[in-house]
Structure 1
Amino acid sequence: MRSKSTQILLLFAIFAVALNLRPAITSIGPMLDIIREDLTLSNTQVSLLTVIPVICMGAFAMLAPILNKAIGLNKTMYLMLLLLAAATGLRLIVSSFSILLLTALAAGIAIAVIGPLLSALIKQYFPLKVAAVVGIYSFGMGMGATLSTGLTGVFYQKANYYLALAIWAVLAVLGMIAWRVSSKNPIAVKQAIGQTVKKGESPWRSKTAWSFLVFFGLQTALFFSVLTWLVPIAVTNGLTLLQAGTLLSSMTVVQIFMNIGFPIALQRFKTRTPALVGILLIGIVSIGFMWTEQPLLFSIGVLLMGIPLGGLFPICLLMPIDATDTAEETNAWTAMMQTGGFIIGGILPLFVAMLYDYTGNHQVTIFVFLLLFTAMLVLAIKIGRIPGKA
């Protein structure tokens, strides 16, 4: 049993590590057009810088329980944060598209391993305060996304896009320091010997787990599509690069409030359906505002978009935690959900980029956002009937 002071240190470590789970990807969005023009790329090619890490986050998520069992949680966390720092820092000397792709691949692998381990850690060390700690976790991710989307353009204006992309390696160093301070008291995620969960309880055989996977994939696709293409869409609508970056940053501030408040508010409901349907309908309304192409209405729509983008991720984090009884089961369910979900979430934004290359019309991009909201609304009816334990 950890003392109150060591629990606070662990919470700070979770927050500091969570800060790192988005900037390597979200910092690309504001620089998308700059990179494309500098390296003479198509929209499809440049979108791979956000698509590849997201797909990696799915393809390598199952490494989390394997590395946890092989070398332990602390060494795994240090290794992944070091990999993330190296990948992000390498962008300072970027000279080719292939180097940027390599950094995207490495960052995706690191994030893939960190995510499921943090969820299992929360389940084990804070079983009675899961929703609140998930709020801290998702707040950290939201803050990382906000800082990177809001300040990347500023760093670009002051220096160049190499520095604007590479500077986020500082957050990984902060994460390692915070983890070091917290790990003076042993941190470990218990894991069953021989297999992650008992025979017959594999999440891959559960219809509920598959529902979680598809829903997570759709919300991930929406999140990264919006963060990747919002700045180019805004610039097309007449905003400057700095104005578009500020608007994107403002949207992520809305996300942060939802990251913290939504998982806690969910505890007041017997089912998730009302809250899920509500924020998804807000998302559909936001699409209507964005479709007008009027700068003011477009901006209102973008701010409204922050509500579902901020609320959907923490509910996805809670799904496997609520549906399982032990930390090792949570690790397995989260890894499975993220494995398939991030692959879906990586492939669909690539499809968006290909559509834009073909049509040259961002109204089509916004229509794809609408389709994603509609599909999630259908799934939410089923998922919302699953009672939570947290």
Structure 2
Amino acid sequence: MRDDRTPPANPKATEERTPAAQGPAGGPAAPQATATRTAPAAPRAGAEQAAAGRPAAATPAAWLIVAGLFLAAFNLRPAVAGLGPLLEEVRDGLGMNGAVAGLLTSLPALCFGLFGMAAPRLARRLGPGTVVAAGMAAIAAGLGLRAASGSTPVFLLFSALALAGIAVSNVLMPVLVKRYFPDRVGAMTGLYSTALALGTSAAAAFTIPLADAGGGWRFGLLFWALTAAAAVPVWSAALLRRRAADRARERPDQRPAAAAPPAAPEAPLRLSRSPTAWSLAVFFGLQSTAAYITMGWAPQIYRDAGVPATTAGLLLALVMGVGAPLGFVLPTLAARMRHQGPLAAGLGACGLVGYAGLWLAPAGGAWAWATLLGIANCCFPVALTMIGLRARTSQGVARLSAFVQGIGYLISLPGPLLVGILNEATGGWEVPLAFTTCLLIAQIAVGLRAGRDRCIEDGD
């Protein structure tokens, strides 16, 4: 199965010169992209159909792409969120010691950072849709096989397989939006951000009931392999439909199109020297740190304050669930803004109030603090939207997404671990909350810079 790989008439033409790109705030594309739009070109793959003057959303199988985006995003977090509630049962069932359990909780961010770096190269060779379809298959296989594993090393191995599938899909979701829906970046980012939040909250809320109904932790983990498997045929159908549409456009009775004139050589993107890329990477890393700290430690903070365990789990589900409605609205709002920094700062301010509440009255205002922390976690869809807006082409978005998420997830690795160390050393949550407050202030500051109206191709 291949994805949108019909060679252009000009051998030097690449996806990076597709005309679908537009400026960071919905403005006009770069002059080179405009020239490509008006020049006649040979029939291209469905992903590049905008060259024929049609909007991306009107392409064949567009509804399948939308369904694929939703299903893929839904399956990007249950592998992580579904394990936490059953971690004690998994440890008992496999004889896993505390050190390995700690490694298991840090494995997602590590895999997201390392495997995500390979996504752009895979996408160039196979096409982003094919890579995401393979990623869904890897998630399904990894989750299914780890649920059946009988030893800790095998459990870790298949967990890494599932997380590798999540990592490449993480990176390529903004790329697919830019490629297939370049004029609807905000709306489509909102769609898959909502699906991601729904998948996360569903895994947090339903994994234990599923395990109880299925007779143990293995079924609780296996269920999420089934939802990932459901995304594979949808992507397969979408890719087959596009290949059929491409073959129809290449019928011999069609008039051959003139070759597009060679484009001027472009300066290579040096993301390691781009202030915009680094600002986005640090912002992504700090918001990921805050999210992992909240997911990992907020229930324990509530329980230490006297909140029952069941209620603490529901509070975590609320934190994750708030992102569903807001995740649909905020990307569209962010895409319409010329500067997304104030939006990032406002969301961060909600987190500061939530941390203050956990410090002063964790049980008394538990539901209010959970709501505020859920709002603060919506920096994630805003960060994804900014990735799509900070590059003019889908290939640029691919490279930027890999750079930002790869470095960002590595930045997030030590945060949750340090919170646990500080809690153990001090016997309370005051110092850990002070630490997370400092990180959130830094996140607000770098978010203001990352939200500036810049594109990495401009050399900022």
- Give the TM-score of the pair, scaled to structure 2: 0.76
Per-residue deviation, residues 101-128 of structure 1 (Å, max 9, x unmatched): 2233222211111122221111111111
What is residue 266 of structure 1 aligned with on the other side? 334
Q: Distance in 2 between matches of 1:293 and 1:156?
A: 33
Deviation at 1:4, TM superposition (A): 6.0
Look up the SS of the partner of 1:201 in the other structure: coil
> How many Å separate the matches in 2 of 1:373 and 1:282?
10
SS at match of 2:97: coil
Report the equivalent of 2:414.
347
Equivalent position of 1:190 in the other structure: none
Indicate whether 1:177 and 2:233 are aligned.
yes
How far did residue 338 of structure 1 move? 0.9
Counterpart AA for 2:301: I
Q: What RMSD in Å do the two structures reach over aligned CA positions?
A: 2.5
Instruction: Give the C-alpha shift of residue 216 in structure 1.
Output: 0.4
| CA distance in 2 between partners of 1:255 and 1:315 (Å) | 11
| Superposition deviation, residue 346 in structure 1 | 2.5
Tell me the equivalent position of 1:291. 359
**Amino acid of the structure 1 residue aligned with 2:238:** S
Partner of 1:229: 297
Secondary structure of the residue aligned to 1:167 is helix
Q: Which of residues 334, 337, 349 in structure 1 aligns to 2:404?
A: 337
Answer with 122-131 or 268-277: which moved more.
268-277
The offset of 1:323, in angstroms, is 1.4
In the alignment, structure 1 residue 382 sits paired with structure 2 residue 449: yes
Describe the SS at the equivalent of 2:314. Answer: helix
Return the alpha-carbon distance in structure 2 between the equivalents of residues 366 and 108 of structure 1.
29
**C-alpha distance after superposition, 1:132-179 (max 9, x if no partner):** 000011111111101111112322443322322232111211111221
Deviation at 1:208, TM superposition (A): 0.9
- Which has more helix, going by share of residues? 1
Deviation per residue, 1:355-386 (Å, 9 max, x gap): 44544534444333322211101212322333
Q: Distance in 1 between matches of 2:446 and 2:197?
A: 24
Question: Partner residue of 1:192?
Answer: none
Q: Work out which of the residue numbers 393, 396, 403 in structure 2 matches 1:326.
A: 393
Distance 1:277-1:55 versus aligned 2 partners, 3 A rule: same
- 8 Å CA contact retained: 1:54, 1:346: yes
User: Is contact 1:80-1:110 (8 Å) kept?
Assistant: yes
The answer to whether the 8 Å contact 1:273/1:381 transfers is yes
Q: How far does the alpha carbon of each residue in 1:61-116 deviate from its partner, in whole angstroms, 9 at most, with x for none?
A: 12112222333334423322221112111232344433332233222211111122
2:178 — aligned with what?
123
Which protein, 1 or 2, shows the higher relative CO under an 8 Å CA cutoff with sep ≥ 6? 1
Q: 1:371 aligns with which of 422, 434, 438?
A: 438
Alpha-carbon distance in structure 2 between the residues aligned to 1:120 and 1:271: 21
- Where does the alignment leave 5 or more consecutive residues of structure 2 unmatched? 1-48, 50-55, 244-264
Alignment of 1:4-153 (within 5 A): 6-35=61-90, 39=95, 41-42=97-98, 45-153=100-208
TM value normalised by structure 1: 0.88
The answer as to whether partners of 1:53 and 1:106 remain within 8 angstroms in 2 is no
From 271, 279, 286, the counterpart of 1:218: 286
The ranges of structure 1 where at least 4 consecutive aligned residues each deviate by more than 6 angstroms after the TM superposition are none
